[in-house]
Structure formats: C-alpha cells, structure tokens
Structure 1
Amino acid sequence: MSDQPEYTPDRRYIIVRGRLWRASNPALSEGARESLVAELMDARRAVGIAKRQEDPEAEKAARVRVHEAKVSLGERGPVWWNDGAPDYNRHLVENTPYASNG
C-alpha cells in the first residue's frame, strides 16, 4: 500500500475509504505548510495526552488547536479554490461528481 494518498483529478480532495477529505491548499508555501502540519501534529498529540489524563479542559483546548491548524491548511473552513465549485468534504465519492472519475 502506498504512503501517498489518492487524490481527485483536480487535487482538491484526498480519498480515504471511499470518502472525500479536503486537501491542503496547494498555494501555501512549503515552509508554511510544514509549520502548520507540525502544529497540527502537536495539537493532535495534545488531544491524546489530555484524553489519557482525563482532562476535558485541556482536551477542548487541544481540539481548538487542531481545528485552527486545519483551517489554516485549507482543510476546513472556506474553500481555497475560487471557481464557485461546491465543497464535497466528507462526502462519499459515490455521491459526488467524482464518482465517474474512478
């Protein structure tokens, strides 16, 4: 199995187990993307630590960090493309126009 995700032809989404997940904004510089991914991973680790320590306040704060990193990466929040195409994030591929591409 490849370590590289499968992308839709327009590279707006990665496909994971038949579901579309919005890809990061390709307009981000490599440095910015790396920094944001590092923050995302740190925040995800903080979620795990807070859960193991049964600290709901720390978990909530860590989840906010995860969300903020994902918005900054373009994976959540406003779409990063500007052609008016709808967002199919989290939709099953088979229920989107991408179904005919695979």
Structure 2
Amino acid sequence: MVNFNYSKADYDALTETEKKFIYKAYENKTISDATHIRNAVLNATVNANRKKNKKFIELFEKKQEKVDVEFTENALEVINEVEERDGKSWVDLLYNKNGLKRPERSK
C-alpha cells in the first residue's frame, strides 16, 4: 500500500470508488513522470551523439502565443500617423537614447 498522507481512520472512511480514483491518479502521475524521464534521457542521448556543428535539440519546445490582431493593427495605424506627421525622427531618437548608431542601408 502507498502512503498518501492519510491516517488509517481517514483511509478507512473512503469509499471503494474514491480509493480507485486515488490509485488511478497515482498511476497517471507515475506514467507521466516515467514519460518525462524517458524523453529527457532520449533527448540527452541524441544531443550527446549528434554530429559536429549540428543544432542542439531542446527538451521542451517554446510555445508561441497568438498575436492580438486588433491591437497590432491599431499600433501600426498609430505608427503610420506619427511617421506621416513627424517623419521617422522617432527611430533616430531611439538609437540615440540607446547609444547606438543607426545602420545605413547599402544601395
């Protein structure tokens, strides 16, 4: 029997259905943990044996969040209005404030 931090009285008070749910949750957790360990070991093995200069495989993929289309469109409208009114001096201001030189495009 597994210790789930229940006293003997608390455990005996559970119904058979509740006990089965607890055991099923424990089984799911065990399977999940084993799967994560397997994935980590497989990933480490593949990365250790990868060819020279081949890209390193990350263990977890980064999920990209969906863009708020309405916010982006409004922001672009504001930027276009400012550029029409004031020109692109705001770009130079950003570079100057950060102590950077604005890159020049080669023609």
User: Which structure shows the bigger proportion of residues in strand conformation?
Assistant: 1
Higher relative CO (CA 8 A, sep ≥ 6), structure 1 or 2?
1
| Fold shared, TM-score > 0.5 on shorter chain | no
